[in-house]
């Protein structure tokens, strides 16, 4: 029997200004009708190129070698007319970031209906009523109210847009759906819903699914088989459960370790790093000590563009002590970033108190500046957190210069050393674009360390980094805490991160802290139903549930 | 549980949009109209300051290089109310505007409003026809150039547009006059020997309109074309076009249904926003061809100098531009659903 | 590039400057790779050199009506390559000397308008709240005003002369620069490195001086070259309308003379073509250079223009 999709020795090369770049080399993949296949890899591994080549959607600068057999027919040599007929009717795509993949000025109903009109079934073209009926049916299938057909994309939430993309992909009852990072940029709970929906629909309608993701646990939850790509090649391809249990290739192992299973003792205080961690210090500050940073009954609100008052932070009590890392967990929009900005004095609070070392933080002037020296910020995306025109030296020296610290050069070298950029001299004259993502984040951390702060506030510090770098940066934060006693407040949507390095967890939901406690208490024995739903949405599940469940 | 938590969160995200529907539009239109009125008030203040304050003593300015007896000066001072406090002067001027009193021409000794009224329609005809043609031509060429990017057509059209964009309009007018050498009338809007009847008169006006209109059109179409081209090129990398191609749409449908409508939005806004520039262009072109519109009036008043007329024309032209802008903002809201609800 | 070992012994300032020089060299290479832009640049440099050297290589006596040697409106011949004007002066000489005034007015007006535009643009974006709202309304108001009409009004009531023209163009041409600078400032200020800079303790002066100004400077530069072209056209137009300095030699004034003294109606095309072509060429050079710079320096246009 012919396979639904078969890639034979696929190679894709891009012509760029600097010559030819091979994005995909010698890839062989096979998917039977109704089967599900995951393709995993970091950015630049060539996984999206593989996905786009199936419908020949690559940019003109790409040249393809090898065979792409869709139901036995080679896509690479199809005539345009045939290709257009195959597109969407035989195989459709759920694109990454539905935000941009939907036309912003057309109603979603029209966009779903477009392929229906374009690819009429063999029984003849559909009447307008039939098209509308099919659109309504598709919206039902993806659990969207039929009335939303008249909405424009910007009126929908991220999860709703992704549902529209799924409805659109199913419109012509294709035999194959290619999902390219379908849940990236979605919140955990929404991600779980979208994944569940997609899996259910392809299973019900016996559609083959190729899913592309950087997150192995997402693929393991949806696909029978997983292929791991690295540097344009497939380095490992096996059944999901097998691969997750015992990854062979070192790159598969790195990908797997990046998303630790919550509750697994092996990954507690053990982020994936190649350098060993120092032991716990003998003496640690305890609950009796004065917190370094403390918020009491904090309220922050601001007006949105329509002038409506949004209560972003609503009566929060939170303390961070020396020698501990506190993870602040919540979905986007939960107010966690606003809380962090307020703690740093970047946002004004309506009421409540913020204390540093027992003293209220100053409102402005030189005193606020002195306070900011003590509490430093590390941002999510190191690429945009560094001025692209400033060298590493200038970026790290910016803080010491503002505060007029002496011996600038030594401070910078020490900070780079502490952030594990070794030897520091080699990095001084680099510009951000010459560094890897992990190195950039280290520069940002070094810039904070140069001021010898007492607390580091890190806002999603690894969310935009590749899996293999993630563990190293987390290990650095943990090492700084153990060696220097540097307190950390890590804001994240990722419970695995909390399990990896945090001592305590605070769960934020709609501006309020719904649950606070040690990592073990909160993640293994959640009290609030929101915490429970967060844990339930983890694609890999939790170790505890896995053991008690079986 | 999971489901309910987030679906009501989604409801929170969606609801504000739906609730604001009707009242939001009314508020938006109201705000925009109020802003336009404020702008027109600012135009009036600016006109007043420019022509009453900057020249020092406007009367001395008006009568310079002209034999004037003291009685005339005294009469002028009295009429302009120069000796009253500034605020009183402004108030008199401001309330005068509402009674249709734009002052009296110093040279023709007629109400400024009458003079403007006579000259308004020729300008509307010239500017209107040139804008419509320039927009049509510019958009069409811009779309074709962007779609066939880097082709000979694209390079040639972009080159021509860039060159025309560097041409001073009045010079192009003069050049056309010399080149066409009497094929088209060079002055005014009517010939004395045109036959009677509506049709003959209309044809005569059209005949006169050709050169000024082409001159005005030539420079503005170039800008519309360049903007349309770069706007479409910007859309061309958009992800939703990949979606459209993946759906199996033919290239020309991808362009017509998806790329062009999106790229059109900034261009259409620009057409309205740049209306002030078209008006500026009309002033010089009218001066070259003696087209009896507001531009010609400005040119003559400038050489008077006839300050009340200049002031009146300034207020009328600037207010017209403000109103066109108001129209642009309202139109944009109709065209772009994102603005409608955001 | 220097080896890492050398970097270790360099002072930070030297490192920064070396990197900056490398950056400028890279920008130049990208710019020079665009044929049209490079051609425009070379021709522009030649034009400026010519304007500067004119007093040395030509005799300004020929500009004086009383010392004119030719017959009125004689067509081009061996002695007067581009013929003579109504006063018997050489059109070639007049056109060449017109370069000086046009460039002077173009540059001066541009400096004025770019200065106003940059300050207002940055202020409107950096300080949010009511300051921003007022500045923005103000900018939009001037943006839509018919600038030529405003410039005419200004030059009508101020004393005649080239500085009046400079002022009239300068104070009417700034809004588009302000808009552009504001947009770019907003883009830069939305970047997390501004937030990081604030968290490090940086104040307004630090953020604007270290991050915003260097960030908008390239765009302002590209914009400036485009504004010079517009200013030259505006100058010619104002001179043509008769509000310029009657005693100075400028292309606009030459064309005004040609129209009003009957040179055009008598078919003396040699009075019409040279100054007009000169304007078109110089403006085109500026436009080519400006678009070339924009392609290299405006991140949003990268890889977009051909």
* Res A304: pLDDT: 66
Q: Which of C26, C187, C201, C216 to mutate to test the interface with A (most CBs of A within 10 A)?
A: C201
pLDDT, averaged across chain B = 80
Q: Do C272 and B170 touch (CB under 8 A)?
A: no
Find the mean pLDDT for residues C74-91.
Answer: 76
In 3D space, the residue among A377, A316, A297 whose CA is nearest the CA of residue A344 turns out to be: A377
User: Residues of B with CB below 8 A from A98's CB?
Assistant: none
User: Residues of B with CB below 8 A from A333's CB?
Assistant: 9
* Res A488: pLDDT: 92
Residue holding tokens 């097998």?
A242
Residue B56 to residues B44, B62, B82, B211: CA-CA distances in angstroms?
19, 11, 11, 40
B38-62 per-position pLDDT tens digit: 989 998 998 888 877 766 666 666 6
Measure CB to CB from residue C272 to each of B38, B166, B178 and give the nearest one: B178
A: neighbours with 3+ CB pairs under 8 Å?
Answer: B, C
Per-residue confidence at C298, pLDDT binned at 50, 70, 90?
low
- Whether B6 and A193 have beta carbons less than 8 Å apart is answered as yes
Instruction: Report the alpha-carbon distance of residue C276 to residue B177 in Å, rounded.
Output: 14
CA distance A158 to chain B (A): 9
Higher pLDDT, A78 or C7: A78
Measure CB to CB from residue B2 to each of A85, A95, A189 and give the nearest one: A189
* Res C3: pLDDT: 41
User: Residues of B with CB below 8 A from C158's CB?
Assistant: 54
Measure CB to CB from residue B2 to each of A88, A104, A536 and give the nearest one: A536
Tell me the pTM.
0.77
- Whether A53 and A24 have beta carbons less than 8 Å apart is answered as yes
* Res B150: pLDDT: 81
User: Residues of B with CB below 8 A from A514's CB?
Assistant: none
Find the mean pLDDT for residues C8-29.
Answer: 76
Q: Which tokens is C300 given? A: 């949003």
Q: Which tokens is C276 given? A: 């007009």
- Whether ipTM tops 0.85, in short, is no
> A380 by DSSP, 3-state: which?
coil
B: neighbours with 3+ CB pairs under 8 Å?
Answer: A, C
* Res A306: pLDDT: 61
Per DSSP, B100 falls in state T
Instruction: Report the alpha-carbon distance of residue B262 to residue B272 in Å, rounded.
Output: 17
Find the mean pLDDT for residues B140-156.
Answer: 89
Count of B-C CB contacts under 8 Å: 143
* Res A290: pLDDT: 84
> A512 by DSSP, 3-state: which?
strand
* Res C7: pLDDT: 47
Report yes or no: A200 at the B interface, CB cutoff 8 Å.
Answer: no
Per-residue confidence at B64, pLDDT binned at 50, 70, 90?
low
Find the mean pLDDT for residues B17-40.
Answer: 74
User: Residues of A with CB below 8 A from C197's CB?
Assistant: 398
CA distance A88 to chain C (A): 30
Report yes or no: B155 at the C interface, CB cutoff 8 Å.
Answer: yes
- What is the longest distance spanned by two Cα atoms in chain B? 94
Q: Which tokens is A340 given? A: 């962090």
Report yes or no: C213 at the A interface, CB cutoff 8 Å.
Answer: no
* Res C299: pLDDT: 57
User: Residues of B with CB below 8 A from A192's CB?
Assistant: 2
Instruction: Report the alpha-carbon distance of residue C191 to residue A447 in Å, rounded.
Output: 17
Per-residue confidence at B340, pLDDT binned at 50, 70, 90?
low
Side-chain-facing half-sphere of A12: CA atoms under 13 Å: 29
User: Residues of A with CB below 8 A from C193's CB?
Assistant: 384-387
**Residues of B (222-251) whose Cβ lies below 8 Å from A:** 238-240, 242-250
Per-residue confidence at C5, pLDDT binned at 50, 70, 90?
very low
**Residues of B (231-290) whose Cβ lies below 8 Å from C:** 233-234, 273, 275-277, 279-281, 283-284, 287-288
Using the predicted structure, report yes or no on whether residue B137 has a pLDDT greater than 90.
yes
* Res B5: pLDDT: 31
* Res C296: pLDDT: 81
B268-278 per-position pLDDT tens digit: 777 777 787 88
Provide the total of helices (H) and of strands (E) in chain A, helices listed first.
Answer: 21, 20
Per DSSP, A308 falls in state -
Residues of chain A with pLDDT under 50: 545-550
Q: Which tokens is B121 given? A: 């329609």
**How does strand A62-70 pair with strand A351-356?**
unpaired
Report yes or no: B7 at the C interface, CB cutoff 8 Å.
Answer: no
In 3D space, the residue among A470, A415, A423, A422 whose CA is nearest the CA of residue A447 turns out to be: A415
First-to-last CA distance in chain C?
A: 30
């Amino acid at each position: 029997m012919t396979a639904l999709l078969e890639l034979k020795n696929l190679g894709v090369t891009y012509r760029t200004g600097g010559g030819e770049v091979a994005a995909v080399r010698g890839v062989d993949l096979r998917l039977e009708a109704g089967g599900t296949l995951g393709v995993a890899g970091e950015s630049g591994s060539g996984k999206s190129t593989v996905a786009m080549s199936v419908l020949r959607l690559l940019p003109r600068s790409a040249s393809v070698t090898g065979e792409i057999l869709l139901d036995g027919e080679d896509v690479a040599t199809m005539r345009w007319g045939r290709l257009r007929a195959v597109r969407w009717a035989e195989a459709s795509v759920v694109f990454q970031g539905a935000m941009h993949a939907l036309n912003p000025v057309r109603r979603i109903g029209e966009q779903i209906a477009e392929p229906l009109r374009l690819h009429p079934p063999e029984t003849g073209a559909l009447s307008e009523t039939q098209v509308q009926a099919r659109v309504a049916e598709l919206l039902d299938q993806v659990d969207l109210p039929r009335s939303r057909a008249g909405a424009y994309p910007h009126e929908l939430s991220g999860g709703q847009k992704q549902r529209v993309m799924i409805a659109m992909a199913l419109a012509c009852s294709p035999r194959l759906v290619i999902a390219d990072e379908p849940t990236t940029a979605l919140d955990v709970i929404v991600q779980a819903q979208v994944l569940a929906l997609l899996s259910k629909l392809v299973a019900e309608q016996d559609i083959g699914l190729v899913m592309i993701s950087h997150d192995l646990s997402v693929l393991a939850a949806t696909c029978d088989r997983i292929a791991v790509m690295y540097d344009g090649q497939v380095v490992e391809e096996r059944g999901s459960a097998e691969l997750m249990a015992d990854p062979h290739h070192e790159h598969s192992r790195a990908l797997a370790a990046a998303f630790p299973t919550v509750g697994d003792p092996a990954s507690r205080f053990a982020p994936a790093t190649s350098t060993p961690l120092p032991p716990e210090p003998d003496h640690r500050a305890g609950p009796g000590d004065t917190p370094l940073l403390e918020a009491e009954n904090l309220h922050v609100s601001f007006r949105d563009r329509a002038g409506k008052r949004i209560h972003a932070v609503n009566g929060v009590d939170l303390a961070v002590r020396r020698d501990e890392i506190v993870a602040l967990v919540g979905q986007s929009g939960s107010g966690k970033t606003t809380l962090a900005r307020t703690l740093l004095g970047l946002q004004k609070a309506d009421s409540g108190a913020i204390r540093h070392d027992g003293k209220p933080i100053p409102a402005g002037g030189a005193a606020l500046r002195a306070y900011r020296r003590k509490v430093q910020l590390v941002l999510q995306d190191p690429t945009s957190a560094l001025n692209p025109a400033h060298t590493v030296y200038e970026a790290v020296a910016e803080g010491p210069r503002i505060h007029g610290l002496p011996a600038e050069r030594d401070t910078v070298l020490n900070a780079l050393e502490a952030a594990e950029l070794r030897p520091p001299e080699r990095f001084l004259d680099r510009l951000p674009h010459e560094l890897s993502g992990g190195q950039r984040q280290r520069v940002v951390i070094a810039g904070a360390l140069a001021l010898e702060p007492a607390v580091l506030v890190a806002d999603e510090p690894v969310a935009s980094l590749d899996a293999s770098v993630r563990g190293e940066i987390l290990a650095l934060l943990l090492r700084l805490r153990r060696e220097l006693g540097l307190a950390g407040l890590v804001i994240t949507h990722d419970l695995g991160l909390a399990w990896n390095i945090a001592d305590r967890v605070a769960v934020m939901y709609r501006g309020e802290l719904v649950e606070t406690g040690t990592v073990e208490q909160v993640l293994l024995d959640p009290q609030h139903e929101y915490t429970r739903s967060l844990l339930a949405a983890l694609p890999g599940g939790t170790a505890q549930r896995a053991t008690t469940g079986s | 549980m999971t489901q309910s938590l987030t679906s009501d969160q989604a409801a929170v995200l969606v609801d504000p949009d739906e609730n604001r529907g009707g009242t939001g539009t009314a508020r938006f239109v109201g705000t925009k109209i109020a802003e336009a009125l404020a702008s027109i008030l600012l135009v009036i203040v600016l006109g007043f300051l420019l022509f009453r304050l900057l020249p020092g003593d406007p009367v001395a300015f008006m009568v310079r290089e002209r034999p004037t007896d003291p009685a005339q000066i005294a009469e002028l001072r009295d009429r302009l109310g120069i000796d009253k406090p500034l605020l009183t002067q402004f108030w008199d001027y401001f309330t005068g505007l509402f009674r249709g009193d734009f002052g009296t021409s110093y040279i023709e000794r007629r109400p400024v409003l009458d003079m403007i009224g006579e000259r308004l329609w020729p300008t509307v005809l010239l500017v209107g026809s040139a804008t419509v043609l320039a927009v049509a031509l510019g958009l069409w060429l811009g779309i074709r150039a962007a779609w066939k990017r880097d082709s000979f057509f694209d390079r040639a059209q972009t080159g021509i547009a860039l060159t025309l964009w560097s041409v001073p309009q009045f010079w192009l007018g003069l050049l056309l006059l010399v080149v066409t050498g009497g094929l088209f009338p060079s002055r005014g809007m009517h010939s004395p020997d045109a036959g009677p009847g509506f049709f003959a008169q209309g044809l005569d006006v059209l005949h006169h309109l050709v050169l000024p209109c082409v001159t005005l059109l030539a420079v503005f179409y170039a800008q519309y074309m360049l903007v349309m081209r770069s706007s479409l090129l910007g859309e061309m990398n958009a992800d939703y076009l990949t979606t459209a191609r993946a759906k199996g749409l033919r290239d020309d449908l991808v362009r017509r249904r998806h790329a062009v409508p999106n790229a059109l939005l900034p261009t259409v806004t620009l057409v309205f926003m740049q209306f002030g520039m078209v008006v500026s262009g009309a002033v010089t072109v009218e001066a070259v061809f003696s087209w009896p519109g507001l531009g010609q009036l400005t040119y003559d008043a400038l050489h008077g100098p006839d300050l009340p007329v200049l002031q009146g024309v300034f207020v009328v032209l600037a207010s017209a531009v403000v109103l066109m802008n108001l129209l642009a903002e309202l139109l944009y809201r109709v065209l772009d659903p994102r603005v409608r609800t955001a | 590039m220097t080896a890492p070992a050398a970097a270790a012994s360099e002072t930070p300032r030297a490192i920064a400057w070396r990197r900056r020089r490398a950056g400028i060299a890279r920008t130049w290479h990208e710019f020079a790779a665009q044929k049209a832009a490079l051609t425009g640049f070379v021709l522009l440099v030649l034009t400026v050199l010519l304007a500067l050297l004119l007093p040395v290589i030509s005799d300004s006596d020929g500009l004086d009506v009383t010392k004119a040697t030719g017959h009125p409106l004689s067509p081009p011949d061996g002695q007067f390559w581009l013929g003579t004007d109504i006063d018997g002066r050489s059109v070639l000489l007049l056109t060449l000397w017109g370069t000086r005034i046009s460039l002077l007015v173009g540059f001066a007006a541009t400096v004025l308008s770019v200065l106003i535009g940059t300050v207002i643009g940055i202020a409107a974006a950096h300080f949010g709240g009511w300051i921003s709202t007022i500045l923005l309304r103000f900018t939009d108001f001037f943006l839509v005003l018919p600038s030529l009409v405003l410039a005419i009004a200004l030059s009508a009531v101020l004393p005649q002369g080239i500085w009046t023209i400079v002022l009239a163009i300068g104070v009417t041409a700034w809004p588009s620069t302000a808009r552009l600078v504001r947009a770019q400032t907003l883009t830069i200020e939305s970047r997390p490195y501004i937030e990081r800079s604030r968290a490090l303790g940086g104040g307004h002066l630090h953020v604007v001086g270290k991050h915003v100004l260097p960030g908008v400077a390239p765009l302002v530069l590209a914009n400036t070259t485009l504004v010079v072209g517009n200013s030259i056209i505006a100058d010619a137009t104002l001179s043509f309308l008769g509000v310029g300095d009657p005693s100075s030699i400028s292309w606009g004034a030459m064309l005004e003379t040609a129209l009003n003294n009957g040179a055009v109606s008598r078919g003396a095309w040699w009075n019409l073509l040279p100054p007009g072509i000169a304007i078109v060429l110089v403006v085109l050079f500026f436009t080519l250079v400006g678009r070339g710079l924009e392609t290299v320096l405006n991140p949003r246009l990268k890889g977009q223009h051909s």
